Amino acid sequence: MAQKGELLTKKHGDLIYDFLKSGIHDETIFSKTTLFAWPDTRDVCIHVDDDFLIISYDCKRNKRVIISPLVRRKEDFIKGICYLENQGVKFIVQVSEWQAEILKERGYEVELFESRSEYLYSPEDLITLRGKKFHGKRNFINGFKYNYEYRPYNGSDEDRQGIIDLFNLNKEDREAKIAEADIKEKKKEFIDNNSELEIVAINRILDDYEYFNVKADVLLIDGKIQGFVAGEILPNGIGGIYFQKGNTEYRGIYAMIDNLYCKAHFDSEEVRYINKQEDLGIKGLRKAKRDYRPVAMANLYTALAKDGVCCCDCPECEKNKKKKQKKQK
């Protein structure tokens, strides 16, 4: 079993971001928001080497789950894998596309982690919304006739409470839709839990706003926050959008805040892609992300050694295990 290394803390954030500067990773999985704001992982640890970083955590089965090595250079990836193999590690998660190809050649069984793969967009597309493919988005924006104020989050108690109120409103709306939808109970629990975790995560970010390096904007109508977006430009040239919330009573609000945010923060040569993260296997979220016409996917995979056993308890891994069992039959 792999040595856990030291406990991952915020002091590791700058080291992780230094590794991201090479630009060979398109994912947001190593952002400070992902690693330190979300509370759904336990006993998160990091092994630090000059050429690679390895982050791991305990899943609900009390098994150690290993995230694929973070490296500055692609040629150092094998060094990280050799370290893991020497530690007896057989199963790796959050494997990127180019890493998956290397592991296939090494004899690993690789499965697409579809619900965790992230959507990549052209900054020019989302800023200009040119062409027929964005005709509908432009119509929403042109039809947004409300008198609004769009500005950065100002750190006040009023702004913070307005943001949390909006998150709670979205949570209630989502719960109502789920109750009416034909969704399996386990999936409903997963979506409900994610809504709760979102509120914890945004509170953690607002508690330590400077550390998380996010830029948060709010849209107000009649003095009340009705739209919210938060993201950052990562050292790998990825413009990550982590949170988007809007009051859907105001038609077109999501198209409006998306476009305003991208214009305000991602109109820069340093942004290679805008990353709207994963869809979590939620159909409505998947449709919303596809409607913006991604130009690529930051696909993520699981990798299993020939004599290994999957130890992860996420829904996607459970689904892949069932597929494998059907094939064997």
Query: What is the full per-residue pLDDT of the chain (329 aa) written as tens digits?
Result: 556 789 999 999 999 999 999 999 999 999 999 999 997 667 899 999 999 999 999 866 568 899 999 999 999 999 999 999 999 999 999 999 999 999 999 999 999 999 999 999 999 999 999 999 999 999 999 999 999 999 999 999 999 999 999 999 999 988 877 766 666 666 666 666 788 899 999 999 999 999 999 999 999 999 999 999 999 999 999 999 999 999 999 999 999 999 999 999 999 999 999 999 999 988 889 999 999 999 999 999 999 998 754 544 455 455 555 555 555 55
Cα–Cα dist 1/262, whole Å: 44
Question: What are the start-end ranges of the E strands in 178-263?
Answer: 215-221, 224-233, 238-246
23-40 pLDDT, tens digit each: 999 999 999 999 999 976
Element (H, E) at 47: strand 42-48
Cα–Cα dist 20/70, whole Å: 8
Same fold, 6-117+299-328 and 119-297: yes
Q: Which residues contact 214 (CB under 8 A, 6 or more apart)?
A: 33, 205, 230, 231, 232, 242
With the CA atoms of 197, 199, 201 and 205 taken in that order, what torsion angle do they form, in degrees rounded to the nearest 10? 180
Q: Which residues contact 283 (CB under 8 A, 6 or more apart)?
A: none
Q: What is the CATH number of domain 6-117+299-328?
A: 3.40.630.30
Q: In the chain, helix, strand, coil percent, each to 5? A: 45, 25, 30
Sign of the four-CA dihedral 120, 125, 128, 130 = negative
Q: What is the mean pLDDT of the chain?
A: 90
Cα–Cα dist 91/81, whole Å: 11
Give the domain ranges of the chain.
Answer: 6-117+299-328, 119-297
Cα–Cα dist 169/198, whole Å: 13
Per the CB < 8 A criterion, the answer to whether 250 and 213 are in contact is no
Exposure letters 163-172 (e unless 16+ CB within 10 A, then b) = bbebbebbbe
- Closest C-alpha to 228, from 258, 193, 250, 198: 258
Per the CB < 8 A criterion, the answer to whether 57 and 42 are in contact is yes
Range 119-297: architecture per CATH: 3-Layer(aba) Sandwich (3.40)
Looking at the chain, the number of H-run helices and the number of E-run strands are 12, 15
Length of the chain equals 329
307 bridge partner residues: none
